[in-house]
Amino acid sequence: MTAVPVIELRDVTKIYPLPSGNVLALDRLSIRIERGEFVAIMGPSGSGKSTLLNQIGGLDVPTSGILRITGRNIRKMSDDELTDLRLNTIGYIFQKFNLIPLLTAFENVEYPYILKHRCNDTTGRVSRLLNEVGINTRMAKHKPAELSGGQQQRVAIARALVNDPDILLCDEPTGNLDTKTGAQIMDMLIALHRQGRTVIIVTHDPSVGEQAERIIRIKDGKVDET
């Protein structure tokens, strides 16, 4: 493959220094994810998958090794550059939805757009995205607390997409939802993948993982080859 992989980890190690001794969360991990892939990262709790997610998401930097996101080594980035990476390149979808409680559904989706473009959305993109995830205009005026879990996650998906990110990073996206709603959200993610987006799902739920094209299993901070 000649194209630059969207995510490339080479011998990535992450050590958390703790008073009780250093914790090796990622142990010389190497992963390559190509553009347009639908990958599930799976593993038991404590396996290092959350740490891996934080590294890929630009929330944290590895202790050593090379981690390239869309070809750029994030270990060389300043805090502001990492922040801009999260704003422009990565779309986050969290287990707990993580909408901003002070803003309406519409404003939650518009928020990253304003941060990026320094102006309100006049293109109708926010409304269109909300419409695509099944949130109508009336619901868009509600605060997150007034929406159901499924609705909140839909808003969160719209928010993740608003700056047209290269990577859609989902952390247990169905973990806080009932089976039926969870399935709807999964369908939505699969549909997004079909549209050509790179989707990475971190989960411990096998039924979620199964729906991905590829499963990367993590155990003790390493890729579990078995």
Partner 1 sequence: MTKDIILQLSIRSIRLNFLRSLLAALGIVIGVVAISSMGMMGANMTLSVTEELSAMANVLVVKANANGGGGGMMGPGGGGSGGSSSSDDDYISKDQLDDIDRAVGQYGLVYPLYQDTETIEVGDNEGRATIYGLRDEDMATVLTVEEGALPKTTSSVVVGPSFAERHGLTIGSRITIGDEDDDEAVVQKVRVVGILEEKGMSMDMNTDNAIVMPEKTFVGLFGGESEYDQVNVILNDINDADTATEAIENQLNRKEDEITVQDSSRMMESITSTVSTLTTFVMAIAAISLLVAATSIFNVMMMSVTERIREIGILRSIGTRKNEVLRMFIYEAVILGLVGAAIGAIMSLVLGWLVVLAMVGTTKYFFTFQSLIYVPMAMLIGIAICIFSGVYPAWRAANLDPIEALRSD
Q: Which of 39, 60, 127, 189 binds partner 1 (CB under 8 A)?
A: 60
Pairwise CA distance, residues 144 & 203, whole Å: 24
Q: Which of 14, 92, 158, 161 binds partner 1 (CB under 8 A)?
A: 92
Closest CA to 129 of 93, 156, 149: 156
- DSSP letters along 91-135, please? EEE-TT----TTS-HHHHHHHHHHHHHSS---SSHHHHHHHHTT-
Pairwise CA distance, residues 129 & 135, whole Å: 9
Q: Does 75 bind partner 1 (CB under 8 A)?
A: no
Closest CA to 113 of 102, 104, 122: 122
Q: Which of 24, 59, 66, 215 binds partner 1 (CB under 8 A)?
A: 59
Which residues, numbered 167-226, are part of the site for partner 1 (CB under 8 A)? none
Q: Contact 109/165 with Cβ under 8 angstroms?
A: no
> How crowded is the C-beta side of 72, counted as CA atoms within 13 Å?
15
Pairwise CA distance, residues 102 & 151, whole Å: 17
Q: Which is nearer to partner 1, 34 or 84 (CB)?
A: 84
Which residues, numbered 111-170, are part of the site for partner 1 (CB under 8 A)? 111-112, 114-116, 118-120, 159, 163
Q: Which is nearer to partner 1, 108 or 198 (CB)?
A: 108
Q: Which is nearer to partner 1, 115 or 183 (CB)?
A: 115
- DSSP letters along 42-84, please? E--TTSSHHHHHHHHTTSS--SEEEEEETTEEGGG--HHHHHH
Q: Does 98 bind partner 1 (CB under 8 A)?
A: yes
Q: How far is the CB of 119 from partner 1 (least distance, A)?
A: 5
Q: Which stretch binds partner 1 (CB under 8 A): 18-26, 85-93, 178-186, 188-196?
A: 85-93
Closest CA to 157 of 130, 181, 195, 137: 130
Pairwise CA distance, residues 200 & 15, whole Å: 23
Q: Which is nearer to partner 1, 163 or 203 (CB)?
A: 163
Q: How far is the CB of 49 from partner 1 (least distance, A)?
A: 14
Q: How far is the CB of 80 from partner 1 (least distance, A)?
A: 6
Q: Which stretch binds partner 1 (CB under 8 A): 24-32, 52-60, 173-181, 196-204?
A: 52-60
Binding residues for partner 1 (CB under 8 A): 54, 57, 59-60, 79-80, 83-84, 86-88, 92, 94, 98-103, 107, 110-112, 114-116, 118-120, 159, 163
